[in-house]
A and B are shown apart, each in its own frame.
Chain A
Amino acid sequence: MNTAFKHPVPRVNSDVRGVLVILFVLAAAAPASAQLPSLTAGDWLRIDFKARFQGDLRKSEAPIRGDEDGGIDIARRRIGIEGRAARVFEYEAEYELGLHQWRDVYLDYRQFTTVQVRAGMFKVPLGLEENTSATNLDFIYRTRISARLAPGRDRGVSVHGRILNDRVTYEGGVFRNDGENARPSNSARVFGNRTSAARVVAHPFRRSNSVWSSLQAGGAVTRSDVPLGFPAVRARTVFGASFFDSDVWVQGRRQRTGLEARWRPGRFSIQSEYIRLTDERRGQSVEDGDLSPLVAQGWYISGTYGLTRKRHRLGRIEASARYETLTFGSGNHSEEPSTSARADTVLGNSDRVTTVGVNWHVNRWLKLQANVIRESIARPSMGPMPGSVNFLSRAIRLQLSL
């Protein structure tokens, strides 16, 4: 039963809604010159102040995890600085006001194009979408594989650069753990120890003027060790409901593999990605032997089409569509699937998500997005709506970036 849609009067926090409306009106009416100040000291120092606010209106036939505001969510309230120092350094520091958490905090030594060094807290280099700023996403929510399988941020050091006449970009680094996406909210779960990561992306036609110039394709890999325990990498729907509990003993190497491609010819763009995460299960069988690895994998393909041309008086409006999957299971499929924490063939589950939406870039600061999301859970008894394979969700996001 669709309890969320049947809610007669959503428990809307009227203050929040009011703030969102005011922000929208102010931003839409803002003169083009309006922006946060910058401080400069010749060529030696530049400090740009930035702020970003995102508010969501959400409704779903399935339960929304942590939905205390009856469908309204302040997704992000971030402030920060970024800039250059001593001509060879770039830096960024961003703070999430809602969570009282530092986000990206790093220093980048960029004297040479081919070899640059970054240190601090930043995103582990795996995942095309995960390494795209939230400001520039084509959809309100990241894909399941970006949100759950890509590592996200962590503390570390990386070497990166562009080589072969800018046709190849690379990044390789070492991180304290395997990213915030894999870190448990429940301390009993385990995540990766020191993680090494590498990503290479080719832009074979970057120097050409053909429609292929924006084509890029690449791959990435991360490796770490996971101590004994149940993994913190969880299967969640778009709105955070579990569809596989990951109550499976793991121990050993954790490896992520990512493949990515993107092409943006003119008003049209398409991108696709595949991520596979495997956790070894050394010594975890009932006879203390090794089990087949726990496998989480998924892919997506998405596209956008610009409905308006650049500099249109209404701003830029684009339509978007995406299909994605996220599957949890095991490497072995030869036995009867089981929910046992020591099963060689794990009774897994998958979520297939189709999203269609519209993005309205009102001006350079303000973006409105609307998405309709249809999810299908392969084994609904393990999902948020045990009696239903499919469920619909809707979301609207207002984003203000200064």
Chain B
Amino acid sequence: MIRLLLIVLILWPAAAGAQAPDPFESGTLHDVRLYINSRDLQELRARYLEDVYVPADFEWRSIRVRNVGVRVRGLATRSAIKPGLRIDFNRYVEGQAFFGMAALVLDNALKDPSLIRERVSMAFIKRMGQPAPREAFGRVYINGVYEGLYAIVEVVDSAFLARELGDGLGYLFEHKYVDGFFGEFLGEDYAPYKLRFDAQTHRLESDYTLYAPIRELFREVNHDVDSTWRERVSWLIDLPQLMTHVAIETFLAEFDGFLGGSGMANFYLYRPLATNVHRVLAWDRDTTFQEVESPIFARASDNALMSRALRFADLRTLFLDVLQQCAVAASQDRWLEWEIYRSHELVRDAAYQDTARPFSVEEYEAAIAHLMSFAQRRPAFVLDEVAKAR
């Protein structure tokens, strides 16, 4: 009896401390296996420019989720050779989920020779206290064949919002890149707004309910009268949150974000129920870490919303404050350097074996070196720029 008690006491802490498996455990290189009928796989690759869904089985560790829906995703990163994939667990089985998630993205990082920008950027956004999808690195196998190194990315949906914001009941829109949209008023018709802001929730509601607040946002953003601009726009978007979002993007030298060079890109708009105030959520960060000396006001003047907002002293101060906080957060304990180094160490072998990526091993190593240099030099540059701007 005493022996039994001893065994229980010894095993108890181990059992209590055993962690539940986490598909976003950042210190692990995960293996994701997809099983797709060979005809479907052929079709998926042949029609990679379309959003064709095929059925598949999804396997992570010993967990196999049957009858999931898989389609190729992405805009500029669409590829038949190394397809970025969206996994919908509930497409063919009502209510099916994987660790509570209805869907998952396997980001092919096709524009990123380092393959780690996406996850490191999202980790930094989270470090700055902003909501960001959970991400991890994964080796993706389709029918047993290694497809390459991917970022496993949580989708932005109601469950994500509920966890990150404590409210997943509102209106969520994914910004779809159509053309160079810099925040100008697109007219009275809802069509151009529907084209650019794809409703992810409340899809069955009327265009008026869904899109009137977005139309009003861009009407007010482009309003001529400065004296009422702040008040009217504040009814439609959380301006301090926007300043924070863009400042983090700016610190990361993002070229394809809210202040994207070709127009606004890669973000979600979220509007809680019973309010018209939107907020911005980050998405797809594989074009960050561009130039170390990327100016802190780069392209801000091109964007109707940011150019007007930065005229207000408190918002401009907030923008600079967040930039400064980013610099501190990145350099403190060499956090950003370590994050890049740790990620590189984790994925290096898998990256070398990833023959589907459009970059050579030398380009991969050069990209990692650039990221390390960015992590070392960007904070100082930004702090200097912020000081000059104050």
* Chain A residues at the B interface, C-beta cutoff of 8 Å: 284-288, 335-344, 347
| B66 near A335: Cβ-Cβ < 8 Å | yes
| A287 near B92: Cβ-Cβ < 8 Å | no
| A286 near B93: Cβ-Cβ < 8 Å | no
| B93 near A342: Cβ-Cβ < 8 Å | no
In order of increasing CB-CB distance, the 7 nearest A-B pairs are: A340-B92, A338-B67, A340-B55, A340-B67, A286-B35, A338-B92, A342-B55
Size of the B side of the interface (Cβ < 8 Å), in residues, is 16
Given the complex, which residues of B lie within 8 Å of A347, measured CB to CB? 93
Cβ of A344 to closest chain B Cβ, rounded Å: 8
Cβ of A114 to closest chain B Cβ, rounded Å: 50
Bound CA–CA A74/B333 (angstroms): 85
| A343 near B38: Cβ-Cβ < 8 Å | no
> In chain A, what residue has the closest Cβ to B69?
A340
Given the complex, which residues of A lie within 8 Å of B40, measured CB to CB? 286, 342
Given the complex, which residues of B lie within 8 Å of A335, measured CB to CB? 66-67
Given the complex, which residues of B lie within 8 Å of A344, measured CB to CB? 66
> In chain B, what residue has the closest Cβ to A336?
B93
> In chain B, what residue has the closest Cβ to A287?
B35
Secondary structure at the B interface, as helix, strand, loop or mixed, is mixed
Bound CA–CA A287/B56 (angstroms): 9
> In chain B, what residue has the closest Cβ to A342?
B55
Cβ of A155 to closest chain B Cβ, rounded Å: 32
| B55 near A341: Cβ-Cβ < 8 Å | yes
Is B77 on the interface with A (CB-CB < 8 A)? no
Given the complex, which residues of B lie within 8 Å of A338, measured CB to CB? 55, 66-67, 92-93
B66-92 contact mask (Cβ, 8 Å, vs A): 1 or 0? 110100000000000000000000011
Given the complex, which residues of B lie within 8 Å of A342, measured CB to CB? 37, 40, 55, 67
> In chain B, what residue has the closest Cβ to A339?
B92
Given the complex, which residues of B lie within 8 Å of A285, measured CB to CB? 37
| A288 near B55: Cβ-Cβ < 8 Å | no
B28-49 contact mask (Cβ, 8 Å, vs A): 1 or 0? 0000000111101000000000
* 5 pairs of residues in contact across A and B, judged by CB atoms under 8 Å: A286-B57, A287-B35, A343-B66, A343-B67, A347-B93
Cβ of B140 to closest chain A Cβ, rounded Å: 15
Bound CA–CA A339/B53 (angstroms): 13
| B143 near A287: Cβ-Cβ < 8 Å | yes
Is B96 on the interface with A (CB-CB < 8 A)? yes
| B56 near A286: Cβ-Cβ < 8 Å | yes
Bound CA–CA A342/B66 (angstroms): 10
Cβ of B177 to closest chain A Cβ, rounded Å: 31
Bound CA–CA A339/B91 (angstroms): 8
Cβ of B218 to closest chain A Cβ, rounded Å: 37
| B92 near A343: Cβ-Cβ < 8 Å | yes
Bound CA–CA A338/B37 (angstroms): 16
> In chain B, what residue has the closest Cβ to A338?
B67
Given the complex, which residues of A lie within 8 Å of B66, measured CB to CB? 335-336, 338, 343-344
| A286 near B55: Cβ-Cβ < 8 Å | yes
Given the complex, which residues of A lie within 8 Å of B91, measured CB to CB? 340
Given the complex, which residues of A lie within 8 Å of B69, measured CB to CB? 340
Given the complex, which residues of B lie within 8 Å of A287, measured CB to CB? 35, 37, 57, 143
Cβ of A367 to closest chain B Cβ, rounded Å: 46
Bound CA–CA A337/B66 (angstroms): 10
| B92 near A286: Cβ-Cβ < 8 Å | no
Bound CA–CA A341/B143 (angstroms): 18
Cβ of A27 to closest chain B Cβ, rounded Å: 53
Not counting A284-B37, A286-B57, A337-B93, a sample of 20 additional A-B residue pairs whose C-beta atoms are within 8 angstroms of each other reads: A285-B37, A286-B35, A286-B36, A286-B40, A286-B55, A286-B56, A287-B35, A287-B37, A288-B38, A335-B66, A338-B55, A338-B93, A340-B91, A340-B92, A340-B93, A341-B55, A342-B67, A343-B55, A344-B66, A347-B93
Interface hits, B92-108 → A, CB 8 Å: 92-93, 96
Bound CA–CA A286/B66 (angstroms): 9
| A286 near B96: Cβ-Cβ < 8 Å | no
> In chain A, what residue has the closest Cβ to B37?
A286
Cβ of A334 to closest chain B Cβ, rounded Å: 11
Cβ of A288 to closest chain B Cβ, rounded Å: 5
B224-262 contact mask (Cβ, 8 Å, vs A): 1 or 0? 000000000000000000000000000000000000000
Given the complex, which residues of A lie within 8 Å of B35, measured CB to CB? 286-287
Bound CA–CA A340/B57 (angstroms): 11
Most buried by A among B37, B38, B69, B96: B37
Bound CA–CA A341/B38 (angstroms): 14
Cβ of A270 to closest chain B Cβ, rounded Å: 41
Bound CA–CA A338/B58 (angstroms): 15
Bound CA–CA A177/B278 (angstroms): 61
> In chain A, what residue has the closest Cβ to B66?
A335
Bound CA–CA A285/B36 (angstroms): 8
Bound CA–CA A341/B69 (angstroms): 11
Give which listed residue, A284, A288, A336, A341, contacts B96 with CB less than 8 A.
Answer: A336
Most buried by B among A285, A335, A338, A347: A338
Given the complex, which residues of B lie within 8 Å of A336, measured CB to CB? 66-67, 93, 96
Cβ of A389 to closest chain B Cβ, rounded Å: 17
Cβ of A262 to closest chain B Cβ, rounded Å: 42
Cβ of B27 to closest chain A Cβ, rounded Å: 31
> In chain A, what residue has the closest Cβ to B143?
A287
Cβ of B314 to closest chain A Cβ, rounded Å: 52
Given the complex, which residues of A lie within 8 Å of B37, measured CB to CB? 284-288, 342
Most buried by B among A284, A336, A338, A342: A342
Cβ of B54 to closest chain A Cβ, rounded Å: 9
Given the complex, which residues of A lie within 8 Å of B96, measured CB to CB? 336
Bound CA–CA A340/B69 (angstroms): 8
Most buried by B among A284, A340, A341, A347: A340
Given the complex, which residues of A lie within 8 Å of B55, measured CB to CB? 286, 338, 340-343
Given the complex, which residues of A lie within 8 Å of B38, measured CB to CB? 288
> In chain A, what residue has the closest Cβ to B70?
A286
Given the complex, which residues of B lie within 8 Å of A340, measured CB to CB? 55, 67, 69, 91-93
Cβ of B126 to closest chain A Cβ, rounded Å: 34
Bound CA–CA A286/B55 (angstroms): 7
Cβ of B343 to closest chain A Cβ, rounded Å: 32
Cβ of A382 to closest chain B Cβ, rounded Å: 11
Cβ of A396 to closest chain B Cβ, rounded Å: 39
Bound CA–CA A347/B90 (angstroms): 13
Bound CA–CA A9/B311 (angstroms): 66
Bound CA–CA A286/B36 (angstroms): 5
